[in-house]
Every structure is written in structure tokens, then in C-alpha cells.
């Protein structure tokens, strides 16, 4: 897919538009320039038709039928496309699950009394997680329970178990379905390793068999690695509660030392928040001429801090280079995932220090200060000091903070949502049953320079809430909605009358922020709770998922576990599968008869909204709930996925 013409605006957001003017004036290359330089992108790769899984290749299949139809080994288009997708899903699952394992290792070190700066914050959740696994909690100190829980969770990664512990949260009907079709996720590492094995030359050459294992691999992430990351982060750093903060580049303060925390893992950033309050460091910042220390978030590390600490959010994925270009950023502290290697190049044009913190994620041009949970707070202080020491090198003439910040509400863990509902999903179930709320949609995922930044998220959200569909958001989608003012209780005014009345009664926005990318596990838990309350399987609920601007392998994995869990999902960016009609037909069609849900691809968020609303109404009808006449939801007659399929 080539870059689109966005009427001259690469972003919907004013802060990005203003800083992009500087980038153009000063000829500082950005992600959009590099995309343009890549065009035309390789058509074989875009269709999933190239393979370099061995050195008899690389091979490619001619989609027009004139050139080669088989790789050197004999693999055809279906095998190659399915193998490529399977590997991407394994990579996404591995990223989330390795994040989960890192959190688990810190949790274990905490339980063993080896850390400084960490504590068990949510003892209630610790007990609940222990009870789920049959671990005794009565009259035992939290650390002892935590040690046993850590051991049990390590067992989830690579053992000979036949299923993951968190599957106890899945409705029995769905578990039975997974058993029947052989996709019950076993060890988290095992499924990804098996995917790498299957996709080695000469192993699994049956596209459907590969794709079924891709579902299994993704489930080991959603109901495994990601869920461990979310739940243990809650135990250590606190289960989120509603909190009001601010968003966009206006969160940077012209008179403060500004430090941005970027990536995904909250382990180091949480102690940096503590370190930034250290009186000695605050004094040092003042000695250097600053009014104080201002921490802001980027991407999902930002989401983790926003959800639990109310730390302001500077921006989503495509803002990382632009945040540096404000000239007001002393340090960008990066952990891992979604950090463009280009940030160190942009930083050379300013005084910003890029500080990498994980030995598995080094960036040429960055200062490396490795994270160690046993010295967490000390390392946090070392990093904040670096930021402060950069402040005198800031050129005030170069500072450009382009907008005022916008308020946004975050902090909607499942516990917080149920709390707002009075402790049970029943009021939400009743509102859905009556039709006051038509259904709920999870809008998740990234920015992608192939889509005008934030346009997909904001437009789809607007169209859904104004038609009484509750929207749940995570990741970079949530940040887009925040910038657009859709995430304060006052945004209920943008909603249809039913959703508006519910939001106003509860004092909540019509768009609820559930957290970071790994926190899509919260959406699974909420969907399972709704299914449990109604006594049905997840695929029977009026729910949908959407990733309007996705770019990453993690997002591919998220979409896959959401579909495998029974939720119809619309992608806004075409995945590289259109070189195989069989693969497209399975993922966008046949899968529905296997797991009760399928994918669609629809780049236009206006059309995606119609598609999703029609889906929700058809699910309502099947449940015997009042539904709107489908003719009233005009314009979505053609299911987009099949219209895009390669013929």
C-alpha cells in the first residue's frame, strides 16, 4: 500500500502538524519522509509472496501467474503467505510474552526481598491471582504468596502443561471449542517455538494447519504472556483507577527539565517517577536553572504511567521524533518495542539525550544505562540526573511547544469499570439488553504513516459513540482519542442519547482507556465476564475489535487472539496476505465457522464503523435483543475483506 495523500496533512493532530512544519523547514527527516523514500514498496512482500526462510532462496511467487508459482523448495503461494503470517504472529506473541517474563522476574526478585523501589501495592489482586491457582493465602505474608505465585507463573512459559492457568477465565463453551479444534494454548514459549519450527523449510506446508497454529500462538499471548504482564504490573504498581491527566506535546513545560519515558515496560519508568521526586534531584534541577522536573510518557510506557500515576502523555507512536523536535526534551528514556532507531538521529539536531535501558534493546547513538531490578531506584536517579545535566545545553531560541495540553481521563481497569457499575457487569449487560448501549468495541493499536495520523482512530470512535456503541481503547489508539478530546466525561455530549445517559449517570467518558498494548488482556477479561453474566460464549456478544492504524507484529497477534477468542475484528491497514486467496478466504470468511469470528480489512474508518454496527446489530438479533433495521445502517453492504481479496 503506498502512502496516501492526506490533503497535505500527515496528521490530524495540531501539535504534530506544527512540529512537522519545523521538520520540513529544517530538513529533519521523519518517518513520513522515509516512507516516501521507500516507495514503491516491494509488491511481493506487501502480498506476503516473498520467502527467505532458507538460502536456496530468497524466492518469490508471481501474483499474475506469469512468473514462478513455486519457491525453489516447491512451496506455493498459500504456504509462503501462511508461513510469513505465522512467523509475524509468533514475533508479536514473543514480544508481549518476553515483556511479561521480565515483569515476572522483577516480581520474583521483589518477593525474595532483592529489590529496592518496588513493593506489593495491590495485595487484594495478589490474593485473587493466588486463589485462581489454588495457592493458599490465609495467614501468609504477601511475599511468601508472591514467591509461590511467581513459581507457578514461570511454569506457564515453557512446560509440558496442556493448558494455561488463565484459561479458567475463559467461558467453558469457548474452552471446549479450542479443545475440539486443537488450539488450546499450552506453554507460552512452546507455541512460538513450535511456530518457528513449523515454518522452517520442509515442516508444515498446509496453510490451514499453519494458520490454526497461529491462532494457538496468539492465544498463548492474550491469555498468557500479556495477561501475566498486566496482572503482575497491577500487583506491583497498583491496579488502575480513574484518573484525569493531560495529553499532547503541550505537556512539555518550557521552564522544566523534560524527560520522556518511551516504550512498553513500566519496571524502570515507575522507579524513575519516584526518582524524579527526590529532593536532592529537584534541588539540582533548580540549580541548573529549571523550575522543576517534568516527566511525560510516549506510547505504552506512557500508558502504563498514565493509567496508574496520572503522568501526562506527550504522544503516540508517530510523535516520538516530533517530541524531540520541540527542542524542549532533555532526555528520552527508552525501554523496548516501538522505539524507532531514528530517534538518536533526530536527537543529534538538539540537546536531547537518548538513554537506552535494556541489554536486549540497544540503540547506536544512545547512552546505555542498563536496568537492574535490584538497583532500580539508584538507576532511576542516575537517569534523571542525566536529564537534569542536559538542561543547560538547551537552546531556548529553539524551544517550540506548539499547543496547550488537552485533559484526558484514563485508568479503566476491569476492576475500575466494574466498580463504576456497582461491582457487577449487570448494569452494562442490562443497558446492552435494552439497547441503551448497542454493544462495545475495542479500538486498539498503533499509528502507521500510511494512514493520516489519528484519523482512523478518531473517526471510527466518533461514529461508534454517536451511535451508542461503547468504545474501549488501549495503546496508541487511546492517545489519539485523548488528543481529540474524546476521553473526558464531557465527551458524553458527542455520544448518542443512550450511551450519553449511561455515561452521564456514571460520570465516565464514552471512550474508556484500558491501558497499554499488553492490557488488551483486560478487554479479553471483560468480554469473558460479560459472556459469563449472560451465560453465552464470547462470539455471541455484540462486540467487535478494530485496529485502524496498526503497524506492528504485536498488533497482528492481538488481532488474532481477539478473533480466536470470538470477536470480529476490522483492520485498517492491509496485512501482507493478499497473495493467497485461500489464506484471505479463511481469515476473512471460513474462520467464522471455526471460531465464531473473522477478520475484515477496511481502510476507511467511516465504512469500518458501518461494518461494525451491522455486525453488532446482527449479534443482537441472534441473542433475541431488539435490533435496529440493518437498512438504517446504510453504506456497509459490501463486506470489505472479501472485496479486497486477491482473485
Q: Which residues bind ligand SF4 (CB under 6 A)?
A: 51-54, 56-59, 71-73, 75, 80, 201
Count of residues interacting with ligand MSK (CB under 6 A):
15
* Per CB under 6 A, 500 contacts ligand MSK: no
Burial of 397 (0-12, 13-18, 19+ CB in 10 A): exposed
Identify what 377 binds: ligand MSK, ligand SF4, none; CB under 5 to 8 Å per kind. Answer: none
8-state DSSP, 41 = P
Alpha helices (H) along 69-223? 77-111, 123-132, 142-154, 172-181, 188-198, 207-220
User: Of ligand SF4, ligand MSK, none, which one does residue 299 interact with (CB within 5 to 8 Å by kind)?
Assistant: ligand MSK
Q: State the minimum distance, in angstroms, from the CB of residue 574 to ligand MSK.
A: 17
Dig out the grid coordinates for 370 from the structure. Answer: 542498563
The site string for ligand MSK over 279-308 (x = CB under 6 A, - otherwise) reads --------------------xx--------
- Residue (451 or 476) nearer to ligand MSK, CB: 476
Interface pick for ligand MSK out of 190, 554, 615, 620 (rule CB under 6 A): 554
Q: What is the dihedral of CA 625, 628, 634, 640, to 10 degrees?
A: -10
Considering the complex, state which of residue 72 and residue 128 has its C-beta at the smaller distance from ligand SF4.
72
80 lines the binding site for ligand MSK (CB under 6 A): no
| Min separation Cβ 338 and ligand MSK, Å | 3
Give Cα separations from 344 to 35, 261, 321, 351, 615 (angstroms). 18, 15, 9, 11, 44
Report CA-CA distances (Å) from 535 to 293, 527, 529, 540, 544. Answer: 51, 12, 10, 10, 19
Chain centre to alpha carbon of residue 569: 14
Residue of the chain from 198, 253, 256, 317 that contacts ligand MSK (CB under 6 A):
317
Q: Over the Cα atoms of the chain, what is R_g?
A: 24
C-alpha distance across the termini of the chain, in Å: 17
| Residue 483 found at the interface with ligand MSK (CB under 6 A) | no
Applying CB under 6 A, the span of 151-159, 347-355, 358-366, 550-558 interacting with ligand MSK comes to 550-558
Instruction: Please say whether the beta carbons of 381 and 275 come within 8 A.
Output: yes
> Closest approach of Cβ 520 to ligand MSK, in Å?
10
Q: Which of 300, 315, 301, 312 is nearest to 244 (CA)?
A: 312
Q: Report the partner that residue 100 touches, choosing among ligand MSK, ligand SF4, none (CB closer than 5 to 8 A by kind).
A: none
> Could you give the CA distance from residue 282 to residue 385 in angstroms, rounded to a whole number?
10
Complex with ligand SF4: residue 89 or 478, whichever CB lies closer: 89
> Which stretch in 139-147, 415-423, 548-556, 600-608 sits in contact with ligand MSK by CB under 6 A?
548-556
Fill in the per-residue mask, 337 to 356: x = in contact with ligand MSK (CB under 6 A), - = not in contact: -x------------------
User: What's the closest the beta carbon of residue 383 comes to ligand MSK, in angstroms?
Assistant: 20
Closest separation between CB of residue 34 and ligand MSK, Å? 16
Quote the least distance from Cβ 206 to ligand SF4, whole Å: 15
Could you give the C-alpha distances from 359 to 139, 193, 338, 342, 370, in angstroms and in order?
Answer: 39, 22, 16, 19, 6
103 touches ligand MSK (CB under 6 A) = no
Closer CB to ligand MSK, 325 or 477, in the complex = 477
Instruction: Please tell me the distance from the alpha carbon of residue 612 to that of residue 638, in angstroms, as a whole number.
Output: 12
Pick the closer one to ligand SF4 by CB: 56 or 181.
Answer: 56
Query: Binding of ligand MSK at residue 546 (CB under 6 A)?
Result: no
Binders in 27-56 for ligand MSK, by CB under 6 A: none
Q: Do residues 544 and 619 lie in contact, with contact meaning Cβ atoms separated by under 8 Å?
A: no
Residue 559 Cβ vs ligand MSK, minimum distance, rounded to whole Å: 12
- Alpha-carbon distance of 522 to 565, in angstroms, equals 13
Quote the least distance from Cβ 168 to ligand MSK, whole Å.
27
Q: Which of 312, 327, 387, 475 binds ligand MSK (CB under 6 A)?
A: 475
SS3 358: strand
Count CA within 13 A, CB hemisphere, residue 179: 11
Indicate whether 552 belongs to the interface with ligand MSK (CB under 6 A): yes
Phi and psi, residue 259, nearest 5°: -125, 125
Residue 446 lies near ligand MSK (rule: CB under 6 A):
yes
Shortest spacing between CB 62 and ligand SF4, in angstroms: 13
Of 264 and 351, nearer to ligand MSK (C-beta) is 264
554 binds, among ligand MSK, ligand SF4, none (CB under 5 to 8 A by kind): ligand MSK
Q: Are 454 and 483 in contact (CB under 8 A)?
A: yes
Could you say whether residue 456 binds ligand MSK (CB under 6 A)? Answer: no
Give CA–CA dist 480/192, Å, rounded.
31
Q: Whose Cβ is closer to ligand MSK: residue 483's or residue 619's?
A: 483
Out of ligand SF4, ligand MSK, none, what residue 583 binds, judged by CB under 5 to 8 A for its kind, is none
Over the window 389 to 428, marking each residue x when it contacts ligand MSK by CB under 6 A and - when it does not, the resulting string is ----------------------------------------
- For residue 344, the partner it binds in ligand MSK, ligand SF4, none, with Cβ less than 5 to 8 A by kind, is none
Judged on CB neighbours under 10 Å (0-12, 13-18, 19+), 134 is exposed
Per partner kind, with CB cut-offs from 5 to 8 A, the member of ligand SF4, ligand MSK, none near residue 487 is none
Closest to ligand MSK by CB, 258 vs 316, is: 316
Here the cell at position 239 is 491496579
List, in order, residues 6 or more apart from 630 with CB less than 8 Å away: 614, 617, 618
How far is Cα 647 from Cα 43, in angstroms, rounded to an integer? 16
Residue 517's binding partner among ligand MSK, ligand SF4, none (Cβ under 5 to 8 angstroms by kind) is: ligand MSK
**By CB under 6 A, is residue 596 in contact with ligand MSK?**
no
For residues 59 and 111, which CB has a smaller minimum distance to ligand SF4 in the complex?
A: 59
596-599, long-range: CB within 8 Å, 24+ apart, which pairs?
A: 596/177, 596/537, 596/538, 596/539, 596/540, 596/566, 597/539, 597/562, 597/563, 597/564, 597/565, 597/566, 597/567, 597/568, 597/569, 598/563, 598/568, 598/641, 599/559, 599/563, 599/569, 599/570, 599/571, 599/641
Residues 184-243 that bind ligand MSK (CB under 6 A): none
- Grid coordinates representing 238 are 497498583
Contact footprint for ligand MSK (CB under 6 A): 264, 299-300, 316-317, 338, 445-446, 475-476, 516-517, 552, 554-555
Amino acid at each position: 500500500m503506498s502512502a496516501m495523500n492526506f490533503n497535505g496533512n500527515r496528521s490530524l493532530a495540531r501539535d504534530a502538524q506544527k512540529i512537522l512544519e519545523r521538520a520540513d523547514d529544517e530538513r529533519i527527516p521523519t518517518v513520513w519522509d522515509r516512507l516516501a523514500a521507500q516507495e514503491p514498496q516491494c509488491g511481493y512482500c506487501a502480498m506476503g509472496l516473498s520467502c527467505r526462510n532458507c538460502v536456496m532462496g530468497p524466492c518469490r511467487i508471481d501474483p499474475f501467474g506469469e512468473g514462478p508459482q513455486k519457491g525453489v523448495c516447491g512451496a506455493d503461494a498459500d504456504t509462503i503467505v501462511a508461513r510469513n503470517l505465522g512467523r509475524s504472529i509468533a514475533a508479536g506473541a514473543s514480544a508481549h510474552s518476553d515483556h511479561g517474563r521480565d515483569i515476572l522476574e522483577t516480581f520474583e526478585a521483589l518477593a525474595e526481598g532483592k529489590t529496592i523501589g518496588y513493593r506489593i501495592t495491590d495485595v487484594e489482586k495478589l490474593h485473587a491471582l493466588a486463589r485462581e491457582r489454588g495457592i493458599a493465602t490465609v495467614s501468609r505474608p504477601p511475599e511468601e504468596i508472591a514467591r509461590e505465585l511467581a513459581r507457578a507463573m514461570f511454569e506457564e512459559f515453557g512446560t509440558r502443561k496442556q493448558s494455561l492457568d488463565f484459561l479458567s477465565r475463559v467461558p467453558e463453551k469457548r474452552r471446549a471449542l479450542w479443545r475440539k479444534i486443537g488450539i488450546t494454548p499450552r506453554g507460552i514459549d512452546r507455541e512460538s517455538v513450535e511456530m518457528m519450527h513449523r515454518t522452517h523449510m520442509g515442516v508444515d506446508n498446509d496453510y490451514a494447519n499453519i494458520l490454526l497454529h497461529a491462532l494457538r500462538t496468539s492465544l498463548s499471548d492474550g491469555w498468557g504472556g500479556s495477561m501475566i504482564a498486566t496482572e503482575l504490573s497491577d500487583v506491583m504498581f497498583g491496579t488502575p483507577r480513574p484518573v484525569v491527566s493531560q495529553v499532547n506535546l503541550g505537556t512539555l513545560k518550557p521552564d522544566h527539565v523534560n524527560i520522556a519515558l518511551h516504550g512498553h515496560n513500566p519496571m524502570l519508568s515507575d522507579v524513575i517517577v519516584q526518582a524524579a521526586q527526590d529532593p536532592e534531584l529537584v534541588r539540582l534541577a533548580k540549580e541548573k536553572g529549571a523550575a522543576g522536573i517534568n516527566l511525560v510518557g510516549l506510547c505504552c510506557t506512557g500508558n502504563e504511567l498514565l493509567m496508574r500515576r496520572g503522568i501526562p502523555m506527550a504522544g503516540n507512536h508517530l510523535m516520538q521524533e516530533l517530541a524531540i523536535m520541540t527542542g524542549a526534551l532533555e532526555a528520552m528514556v527508552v525501554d523496548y518495542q516501538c522505539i524507532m532507531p531514528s530517534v538518536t538521529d533526530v536527537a543529534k539536531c538538539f540537546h536531547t539525550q537518548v538513554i537506552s535501558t535494556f541489554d536486549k534493546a540497544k540503540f547506536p547513538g544512545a547512552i546505555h544505562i542498563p536496568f537492574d531490578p535490584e538497583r532500580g531506584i539508584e538507576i532511576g536517579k542516575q537517569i534523571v540526573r542525566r536529564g537534569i545535566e542536559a538542561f543547560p545545553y538547551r537552546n531556548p531560541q529553539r524551544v517550540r511547544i506548539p499547543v496547550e495540553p488537552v485533559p484526558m481521563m484514563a485508568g479503566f481497569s476491569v476492576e475500575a469499570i466494574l466498580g463504576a457499575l456497582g461491582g457487577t457487569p449487570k448494569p452494562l449487560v442490562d443497558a446492552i439488553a435494552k439497547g441503551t448501549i448497542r454493544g462495545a468495541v475495542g479500538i486498539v493499536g498503533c499509528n502507521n504513516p500510511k494512514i493520516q495520523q489519528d484519523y482512523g482512530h478518531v473517526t471510527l470512535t466518533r461514529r461508534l459513540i454517536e451511535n451508542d456503541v461503547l468504545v474501549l481503547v488501549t495503546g496508541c489508539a487511546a492517545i489519539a482519542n485523548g488528543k481529540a478530546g474524546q476521553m473526558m466525561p464531557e465527551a458524553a455530549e458527542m455520544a448518542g442519547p443512550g450511551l450519553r445517559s449511561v455515561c452521564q449517570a456514571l460520570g465516565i467518558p464514552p471512550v474508556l482507556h484500558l491501558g497499554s498494548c499488553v492490557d488488551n488482556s483486560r478487554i479479553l477479561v471483560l468480554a469473558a465476564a460479560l459472556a459469563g453474566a449472560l451465560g453465552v460464549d464470547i462470539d455471541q456478544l455484540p462486540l467487535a475489535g478494530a485496529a485502524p492504524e496498526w503497524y506492528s507484529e504485536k498488533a497482528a497477534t492481538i488481532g488474532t487472539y481477539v478473533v480466536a477468542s470470538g470477536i470480529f475484528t476490522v483492520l485498517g491497514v492491509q496485512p501482507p496476505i493478499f497473495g493467497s486467496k485461500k489464506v484471505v478466504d479463511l481469515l476473512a470468511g471460513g474462520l467464522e465457522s471455526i471460531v465464531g469470528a473473522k477478520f475484515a480489512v477496511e481502510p476507511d474508518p467511516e465504512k469500518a464503523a458501518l461494518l461494525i454496527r451491522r455486525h453488532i446489530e446482527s449479534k443482537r438479533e441472534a441473542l433475541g435483543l431488539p435490533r435496529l433495521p440493518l437498512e438504517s445502517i446504510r453504506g456497509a453492504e459490501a463486506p470489505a475483506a472479501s472485496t479486497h481479496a486477491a482473485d
